[in-house]
Amino acid sequence: MTKNVYFSVKKQLRLFAQLWVIVLLFAVSKANADWQLNMREGVTEISRAVYDLHMVIFWICVAIAVVVFGVMLFSVIYHRKSRGAKAHNFHENVFVEIAWTVIPMVILIGMAIPATGTLIKMYDSRESDLDIQITGYQWKWRYQYLESGVDFFSSLATPMAQIKGEEPKGEHYLLEVDNPLVIPVGKKIRFLITANDVIHSWWVPDFAVKKDAIPGFINESWTVVEEPGIYRGQCAELCGKDHGFMPIVVEVKSQPDYDAWVKQQQLAQLEKAKSAEKRWSLDELMTTGEAVYLKSCAACHQASGEGIPGAFPALKGSAIVQGDPAAHIDIVLNGKPGTAMQAFIDQLSAVELAAVITYERNAWGDSLGDIISPSQIAKLQQ
């Protein structure tokens, strides 16, 4: 080949490299939310460290790719038979082989050092200001504040009609919950993560916190969030039918707002306990019961009470629902070990439990007419 050809080769290679860089720069720009291409930097020191690691390793990969694919493309263009290229029969070169073993090793060591530093920081959950136990349930999260005793469940708030396409989808479709986790800004929060049934995984991308929630284990993770705001995440481990429908929403508040919120929660819990003492009519219980049923039971037993054959038993016409109330109360409160039937004794209030059992016994034309009173359940809960 003449010098001229080589010159144009160089030129073309440079052009090609420039093209790559443009494409990749486009790939990492975050101009449009709907076309978000890259990882979020997040709002914690750790999440930014993770983002930096991600970008460094990404650019290392890009650099290697440009070299390797560049040589390859060069050969594909210039060393083709149709251009009259003759094969040079060289092979086996110990020096080259050692070089391309040692150089990647060095790059890898360079990469391992910052990664190790970040990992050590992520594992240091000591000296927390606030401890929150997070428990994964099929298909909702429970948040228990160990210091203040606040305890509630958090489940998907997106209405079924939006999911089924009967209504237009809202801005935070599938990323909205009824009761978000609330934490104070600038404090070290330690999460104690576990699960009640199958394995879930608690993930908030903006905190770079992802930890599996495993029954029988308590995993630790922590975060210090620097800016108040609302942050959204999702369950990241396949946990059954509604795995895609158990989002996480974290509201980060200033310390005074957070304190006020804790007070209000504690009051509301007292309020709830009191309402169990009141006398409830069948109609009142049926209305409350239907709401509770749709939220806590219908995912498996279906709104019609007919269940899913082979997977979840029907309640409509079932022997337990139509039989002795004591057996019915027992299975709802304590669950059925070894099956997907959870124990609801801690999940729902006395009123909610009484209402939902009453509802099950009277809905779907089974009308037994019996009332399960909240006070009766409250006794069992103690």
Closer to other proteins at the Cβ: 219 or 375? 219
User: Are 171 and 184 within 8 A, CB to CB?
Assistant: no
Please name the residue that has the structure tokens 């200001």.
129
Instruction: Quote the least distance from Cβ 77 to other proteins, whole Å.
Output: 10
Bridge partner residues of 202 (DSSP): 211, 235
Instruction: Quote the least distance from Cβ 189 to other proteins, whole Å.
Output: 16
Question: Going residue by residue from 121 to 150, which x/- string records binding to other proteins, judged by CB under 8 A?
Answer: -xx--------------x------------
Q: What whole-number distance in Å separates Cα of residue 221 and Cα of residue 235?
A: 15
Query: Any idea what DSSP says for residue 316?
Result: T
45 contacts other proteins (rule: CB under 8 A): no
Please name the residue that has the structure tokens 């809202």.
170
Bridge partner residues of 137 (DSSP): 140
256 contacts other proteins (rule: CB under 8 A): no
Closer to other proteins at the Cβ: 129 or 237? 237
Query: Any idea what DSSP says for residue 254?
Result: -
Question: Long-range contacts of range 304-310, CB-CB < 8 Å, 24 or more positions apart?
Answer: 304/364, 305/360, 305/363, 305/364
Q: Which of 64, 230, 260, 268 binds other proteins (CB under 8 A)?
A: 64
Residues contacting other proteins: total by CB under 8 A? 103
Question: Going residue by residue from 89 to 128, which x/- string records binding to other proteins, judged by CB under 8 A?
Answer: xxxxx--xx--xx--xx--x--xx--xx-xxx-xx-----
Question: Long-range contacts of range 362-371, CB-CB < 8 Å, 24 or more positions apart?
Answer: 362/282, 362/286, 363/286, 363/289, 363/290, 363/293, 363/305, 364/304, 364/305, 364/315, 364/316, 364/317, 365/316, 366/316, 366/317, 366/321, 366/322, 368/322, 369/282, 370/325, 371/280, 371/282, 371/285
336 contacts other proteins (rule: CB under 8 A): no
Bridge partner residues of 376 (DSSP): none
Closer to other proteins at the Cβ: 130 or 340? 340
Selected range binding other proteins among 144-152, 235-243, 252-260, 264-272, rule: CB under 8 A: 235-243
Q: Which of 5, 260, 308, 327 binds other proteins (CB under 8 A)?
A: 308
Closer to other proteins at the Cβ: 204 or 377? 204
3-state secondary structure of 151: strand
Structure tokens at 263: 């007070």
Amino acid at 344: F
Q: What whole-number distance in Å separates Cα of residue 235 and Cα of residue 233?
A: 7
Closer to other proteins at the Cβ: 116 or 264? 116
6 contacts other proteins (rule: CB under 8 A): no
User: Are 173 and 231 within 8 A, CB to CB?
Assistant: no
Selected range binding other proteins among 16-24, 168-176, 252-260, 268-276, rule: CB under 8 A: 168-176
Instruction: Quote the least distance from Cβ 66 to other proteins, whole Å.
Output: 12
Amino acid at 130: L
Closer to other proteins at the Cβ: 76 or 267? 76
Instruction: Quote the least distance from Cβ 181 to other proteins, whole Å.
Output: 17
54 contacts other proteins (rule: CB under 8 A): yes
169 contacts other proteins (rule: CB under 8 A): yes
User: Are 248 and 235 within 8 A, CB to CB?
Assistant: yes
Instruction: Quote the least distance from Cβ 168 to other proteins, whole Å.
Output: 10
Instruction: Quote the least distance from Cβ 11 to other proteins, whole Å.
Output: 19
Selected range binding other proteins among 87-95, 143-151, 258-266, 367-375, rule: CB under 8 A: 87-95
User: Are 222 and 128 within 8 A, CB to CB?
Assistant: yes
234 contacts other proteins (rule: CB under 8 A): yes
Site residues (CB under 8 A) for other proteins, limited to 202-231:
203, 205, 208-212, 214-217, 219-220
